[in-house]
Structure 1
């Protein structure tokens, strides 16, 4: 049977994926260490904010299989996949179940970053947006960020890792290597994602603008005296 090697994940998407994973690990470590490590917790939080803004934009203009339109499935399509009757394209980019996990994880991370910007440990560190809301809102955001939000992030990351192990070991699907080199070996030809010099330059521009947004948010913090 003829096999087709297709570029599925463009370089910007792959860098985003691994950078986000590294930041999540760093955020968990710094949150639990506390103390002076919270300086890095904030820095990593702003980095995740920039990454999320980048992914939002790249989901609209990025490579073919990185766009949200490529894995925005209907509930019927998801049920069909869960019943063991997948669509031929379900194995190219994100599957319906994988797409659902991506959207949920991005939403939970956005909520975690957002509540972090509104949190206050009442000791030495406060998010840059605490001055714009009431104490009640700050309290709710802080409690969510420290408890519910952290639990949700860790749970979803754990499920994500377990799902990867299941698909690699049990279903013998390539998931890790394509996120490293960008290519998938498919039984049928498929439209590749654009991943040339011009698209990578565009990604750098989007990343720079996203970093600018994160920097602007961080600049809203009241200077400590």
Structure 2
């Protein structure tokens, strides 16, 4: 049994409660993001740690610019000392994109989605004729990408912004010809991502600020 068939069973099960395939897509997306929430937190935390050790990495790159092998060894040592896994940042993104192709096949081939209206668009299996969904996809993707960068990160800021704009425009253009249901999946996923990243920022950086303030007060009392 392929992934598309498994998704078909999942959507039929959700539909038995929602009685609407558009809402079923929304519920499915939220469930997927909910399952990935712990991994997404770890991803954001790893990105924060990586941004914090960037000055150390930059010094190592300058020091060992003529010795790549030694540079890689020292960088890995810094990662280990700071308990950073550079490969642990991509799991939520990989899983989200793995779902895209089966979702596309499901929306295009399963009769349950054909001719099913949702909100203002007439058919979940066909592109949105009003182009509202592609625009929303691009906007939410851009907001998701800029909130994914931990505060205080200065490395390659201009390059990151340029890449975010390019990817947002690219996905807007691509969504024009994709099923509306897939665009709904993207938009809900992006909105969920934006909200969770703002929460992560508040959790991680507020906690950090509280610890810093407590340390200052403790030092002042000690004096």
TM-score, normalised by the number of residues in structure 1: 0.30
More helix by share: 2
User: Using CA pairs below 8 Å that are at least 6 residues apart, which structure has the higher relative contact order?
Assistant: 1
